[in-house]
Structure 1
Amino acid sequence: MSESYNRARKLGLKQFHRDEVAGAFPYPPALDDLLEGQGRLPRVHVGTVELDPALVVGTKTRARQNIFASNFLPIAPEGSEFATKWSALCESQLEEGTREPIEVFEYLQRFYVQEGNKRVSVARYLGSPTLPAKVVRVMPAETDSPQAKAYLEFTRFYSVARIYGIVLTHEGGYARLAELFGEDLEHRWPDEKRDALRRLFSRFSKAYGEHADDVGLTAGDALLVALSVCGLDELSRQRPAQLAETVERLRGEFAALSGQASVAYLEDPDATPDEPGVMEKLVSSLRSFYSVYQSAVEGPTKVAFVYDQSPMTSRWVAAHEEGRHDLERRLGDQVETFAYPSAYEDDDFDAVVADAVERGASLVVTVSPTQMAQTLRAAVKYPDVEFINCSVSLSHDAVRIFSGRLYEAKFLLGALAAAISKDHRIGYVAESPVYNSVAEVNAFARGAEMVDAHALVYLEWVEEAGNDPREAFAKQGIKVVSGHDFPDPLHPEEPWGLWYDAGDGLDIQLGAPVWNWGLYYERLVQSLRNDTWRAEGERLPAQTLNYWWGLSSGVVDVHVDEDVPEPQRRLVELLRQGVVSGTVDPFSGELLSQERPIQPEGSPRLPSEAIARMDWLAHNVAGHVPPTELLTEGARRAVEVNGVAESVLGETDEGGDPA
């Protein structure tokens, strides 16, 4: 069998030299070296399992480490005692298979051989699918690191599914995987479910390794993305060629999750990310001319709006529906729109999107973060249609997102509230604790503090089960309140915006934030018609695009009631001009949270990502984020998709909208 050894050794030496050139360690790593300095970690005897040889990555100790390349193929000289024993073992395995289990230590789902190095090497060379192995698990040190948390969740997954090799790097991943298979991490999985997962992972990881392994995501994380987008039934019935196509179409999503694709916050609709050269400008002009000409020939741009609720009952959906009608008024026969209300369930959503595509929609708009999973699934299914979701920081390659810097308007209203309040106290009604809403609370508090250094903002959450913000404010005698951003379609008489409780049931509106959704949608549609949409994608190929426009764009504004005294109205206008020009910003300078300093005096504006994903409350906010279990069902779903981690936020003893 020296011929087999010679071939195996050539493969081993090839890997050895490749590692040397790359500056990588050319031998299998030793577990003892990896764990040096950590003391004796807890060990668990797992028992004997059938182990994929590809999961064996190293040796327990350094002994005999240097006779293997990093891929566990031999590099010892031909004619050596080791070569003779390796050849004999190879012949034995070909004739009889492997009977005696190897002995391995498992650490973070990687295996290190204590006894049976040659058996692993031969199995690797022969391509054996499994090896019997006695496994001892080495538990990682107890830390709060994401890796340790994810691994502890894996141990729960293994106890019920008995599957090694599916590496998920984010806490919650194994629970989500179990949920997608209709199981959990508490009860033993039926054999058919376990075998189905093994088969699917084997097929998927092969396609992933051949078509997208370079994106830097584990095959397990990639499978979880594919299952979340395509669904278990669809993915399970795909043949190898279809799986390969699915993997190719999800490359951008894999890159986004792995961190290779950064988020581009496009904060000015009239600005370009980089100044193009002369030739680029010429090409862009020609594309724009052709696009306009083509649109004139082919007719109006068709846009579908898919809502998860009805505009008859939802403030948020009603505002977007008015924006849709305004879009039609603005663009006339250049655009045709159609709306699909209350498409909440997956089947309903898929059906209305299919109808929109059949009717020739070029753009599909969804208006809630909770629709992102559905929107992403549709975007992968219909790659020739553009999809956009109204949310913040839900970064995906196939779906662009849009929202607005409403916190700028809330900053102005905070200043107005402090100018009106006579006792330094202001009430603030927030919807649910999702990203963006926290920035709006803090911007409001910053505006109030700018006018009144003693201003205190009392925060109440609408979506906290059993909570009545108005009743809470009445008990505390708070008169100036920042309420809902929109009127209630079912109860239009209820106060909204910034209002003053004058007593005896009389509420006086002072002002309100303004969303100009029609203008927003007009600009988005025009970007499709004049080819700016495609140009932005080409200019930022490795980034996920987030349209995040503010006061300077006109899509966000503030209304101050004409009955507000003239000095206060002038104050708001002066601050508004400062925000539009960039000379005033709510999140520049010294920032203090309830628990710690955020940045010192003289600091520039916080980065866009830090604002969009703000997870702290300003020091002059009296309130906290309620625990998830105290939220309403709808709010829990929103927080699960795009929520702020409540454990990060401070809580005091003193007692946003969906995007």
Structure 2
Amino acid sequence: MGETEYSEALKLGKKEYRARIAKGQFPYLPVLDEILSEADIQTEQNMGLVHVPLDFVVGTSTMGRTYSFAANFMPILDWETEFAVKWSNLSDAQMNEGIRDPIKAFEYMNRYYVLEGNKRVSVLKYFNAVSIPAIVTRKIPKLSDDYDVRLYYEYMKFNEITGLCSVEFTKLGNADKLLSLVGKEGRWDDETKEKFAKVMFDFSKVYNFRGGDRLDIKLGDAITVFMEVFGMDAMLEMSENDYNKNVINTWKEFAAEGEKHKINLVLDPKKVQTKKSLLNYLIPQTQKKLKVVFLYPREPKTSAWLYSHELGRMYLDETFSDKLETEYVAGVDENNVEQVLEDIIKAGADIIFCVGPQMMPNSLKVAVEHPEVYILNCSLNAPHPYIRTYYGRMYEAKFLAGMIAGAVTDNERVAYIADYPIYGMIANINAFALGVASVNPRAKVYLAWSKTKDYDRNKFLTENDLHYVSDQDIITPNDASRYFGLYKLQDGQALNLAMPIWNWGVFYEKLLQSVLAGSYKAEGQEQVKALNYWWGMSAGVIDLICSKHVPYGVKRLADHLKSDITKGEVVPFFGQIYDQKGELKNKGEHEMKPSDIMKMDWLVDNVVGSIPPMSEFVDNAKMVVELKGVEENKL
């Protein structure tokens, strides 16, 4: 019996050998000793007895046995050898009672190289066994900036907590995200492992059947994406039909996960064709009004930020009174957003603007289940194709404000008060600092964060002798302070100099025009990546208004630069730019990429201050920072 099995295995081995020779590839098993040297290894760790997935057993530890096997672990030595007889005996043992003795192996980067037991691996692979017991020694590579090494260090943490070695990831951060989504603190107990095994089996069965194994992501990435949308508890209750429907609906999210750059930044609105055909005049137009709903975390009159969006909503009512109707819902947060969305969709909402990044996670499931409704979130750097995001390139106005501040400061010191270190905010700070430096190379920008626990505005300004301040962009209706925009402190009062403007009405108008013209839907169908609208002065979404207190010559320069920025002839992030550590972040005569501007987690060299860690923020700010904060502060 064993001879027959060996003959079949030999055919598979020789077929693999010939195929690899034809492709110019090494036809034998990889050898760990030739892949790495001891100089590459940080340390070794005894892992004890591990049930190793056979798919992950890929080679031998030493050169001794490698020429007995093809690269697929099938034998290539003829029958008239001692090796073949031993292989056949193991084959008989597997069919009669099963191979139980563990092999010995080294693990390196979650792949296993056999020290003792190559024939046992070969036999079990021939019989399509799933795993093999092994006494494992892990070789841990030295930590470096290499992407695969960083990914492996995340895997080791995941493996230590879960005990799983078959779940792999291709994206940094997904291992930690999956642990968070499962929601078990500390090491997984047997109950958690059983629950996860169930959802992994049910999900992978449908996902692979639908072709998921052909995507450029690992199963660990895919289940992380799916669980982020639906949640662990819902997955435990799903039937096979539920999985089929939900996997199909979520496919764009899987595909986007495989993209190297998951986000497509749209920097300017597309021109909308407004010409009508003859049929438009001959056939009465009976299209119903679109229902547009804005979701706010609280009443807009209590927040300068929300009030600017509310002005945009009211502008839509005036501009499109015959084509759409708008309303807003306040008091929407991460806890109730899913139910609010379901309710307003049931009530006929066509387009929904979620004005708060904290609404994003629980909005995703609704967006996946209701592709007929357009759901957008006001934030940056969101990698979800089903929810488009939007924001303004405020850094363009901040650059101009910085130039004004640098020109008028009387002691080469300027204050910048920020709130959250979220995507886009660091670009604002750095652009302001570059604007200051463009006219006053010796001036420093002193940075404070208003949402930190120890923030004391008066103490910050007094101790640092700061007279010129860049503060919140607009007035809060319920607190009409003059501490907004760029101002000078004079006799304890604010003398306003310049105010950055968010023209949300213009943004919403142009976006709704694309919806009415049909180009919004077409734009989404063309993309696998997530669409992030990041419009600026060129679109009329961002502006800067100067008061009469700005010196004439300075205002004239600011107006000239604003015109050049609008036309794309001047960009704030151009030429040599150094960070606080003296590292070159942008080369001379080069314009910084928009994606690099968006993801900034460093400060330019004339900024005095830092990006605080999460622990320093007040509790009601932590949710926003956790969701949309730059990487530097997620420590």
**Which deviates more from structure 2 when the two are superposed, residues 581-590 or residues 23-32?**
23-32
Tell me, yes or no, if structure 1 residue 619 matches structure 2 residue 605.
yes
Mapped partners of 2:121, 2:33: distance in 1: 19
Deviations 1:555-584 (A, max 9, x none): 111122245444443332122112112222
1:472 is aligned to: 460
Partner of 2:71: 70
Are 2:163 and 1:158 aligned?
no
Whether contact under 8 Å (1:403, 1:547) holds in the other structure is yes
Q: For 1:116 and 1:598, locate their aligned partners in 2 and report how far apart those are by CA, in whole Å.
A: 52
- Count of matched residue pairs: 633
Check 1:286–1:575 CA distance in 2 against 1; reply closer, same or farther (3 A cut).
closer
Structure 2 counterpart of 1:550:
536
- The 8 Å contact of residues 40 and 142 in structure 2, kept in 1 or not, is answered as no
- Equivalent residue for 1:582, pick from 568, 576, 599: 568
- The question of 1:524 aligning with 2:523 is answered no
After TM superposition, give the deviation of residue 406 of structure 1 in Å: 0.7
Structure 1 pair 51/328, CA: closer, same or farther in 2 (3 Å)? same
Once the two structures are superposed, the pairs formed by residues 292-441 of structure 1 within 5 Å of their partners are 296-346=285-335, 348-441=336-429
Displacement of 1:422 in angstroms is 2.3
CA distance in 2, matches of 1:288, 1:611: 42
Q: Deviations over 1:34-63 (max 9, x none)?
A: 223536653222222333322222222233
In the alignment, the residues of structure 2 paired with residue 608 and residue 295 of structure 1 have an alpha-carbon distance, to the nearest angstrom, of 45
Offset, 1:84 = 3.9
Q: Give the Cα–Cα distance (whole angstroms) in 1 for the partners of residues 358 and 549 of structure 2.
A: 39
CA shift, 1:231, in A, is 0.3
Cα 1:266/1:61, change in 2 over 3 Å? same
Q: Which runs of 5+ in 1 are unaligned?
A: 273-283, 650-659
Deviates more, 1:290-299 or 1:51-60: 290-299
Amino acid at match of 1:590: Q
SS at match of 1:478: coil
Q: Deviations over 1:194-237 (max 9, x none)?
A: 12223332343344444222322121122222212210012233
Where in structure 2 are the equivalents of 1:186-197 lying within 5 Å?
Answer: 188-197=187-196
Larger displacement relative to structure 2 (55-64 or 596-605): 596-605
The answer on 1:486 being equivalent to 2:474 is yes
In structure 2, the gaps of 5 or more residues are none
Q: For residues 315-359 of structure 1, give each alpha carbon's deviation from its aligned partner in whole angstroms, at most 9, with x where no partner exists.
A: 32222222112112111121122322222133x111111122212
Q: What do you get for the CA RMSD once the two structures are aligned?
A: 3.1
Measured at CA, do residues 61 and 244 of structure 1 come closer, stay the same or move farther in structure 2, by a change above 3 Å? farther
Q: How far, CA to CA, are the matches of 1:353 and 1:396 in structure 2?
A: 17
Taking the aligned partners of 2:429 and 2:367, their CA distance within structure 1 comes to: 33
TM-score w.r.t. length of structure 1? 0.88
CA distance in structure 2 between the partners assigned to 1:515 and 1:608 by the alignment = 19
Q: CA deviation at 1:407?
A: 0.7
In the alignment, the residues of structure 2 paired with residue 488 and residue 201 of structure 1 have an alpha-carbon distance, to the nearest angstrom, of 49
Indicate the SS of the match to 1:545.
Answer: strand
Specify the code of the residue in structure 2 equivalent to 1:235: M
* Map of 1:508 onto structure 2: 495
3-state SS of 2:353 partner:
strand
Shift >6 Å, 4+ stretches? 284-295
CA distance in 2, matches of 1:221, 1:240: 20
Q: CA deviation at 1:631?
A: 1.8
Q: Which TM-score applies when normalising by structure 2?
A: 0.91
**Identical aligned residues as a percent:** 34
Q: CA deviation at 1:483?
A: 0.7
Q: Deviations over 1:133-172 (max 9, x none)?
A: 2222222224354544443444444344322211235565
Classify 1:189/1:147 alpha carbon distance in 2 versus 1 (closer, same or farther; 3 Å).
same
Distance 1:9 1:366 in 2: 62
Q: Could you tell me how far 1:448 is from its partner in structure 2? A: 2.1
Distance 1:359 1:234, change over 3 A: same
1:296–1:595 Cα change, 3 Å: farther
TM-aligned CA distance change 1:169 to 1:535, over 3 Å: closer
- Which residue of the partner structure matches residue 265 of structure 1? 265
Contact 1:287 1:530 (C-alpha < 8 Å) held by counterparts: no
* Contact 2:433-2:607 within 8 A present in 1 as well: yes
Which residue in 1 is equivalent to 2:198? 199
User: In structure 2, what is the equivalent of residue 231 of structure 1?
Assistant: 231
> In 2, distance between residues paired with 1:618 and 1:293?
61
Alpha-carbon distance between aligned partners in 2 of 1:291 and 1:16, rounded to the nearest angstrom: 67
CA displacement at 1:25 relative to structure 2: 4.0
d(CA) in 2 for partners of 1:288, 1:373:
42
Mapped partners of 1:444, 1:221: distance in 2: 38
CA distance in 2, matches of 1:615, 1:10: 56
Distance 2:281 2:294 in 1: 23
Is the aligned partner of 1:638 residue 2:619?
Answer: no
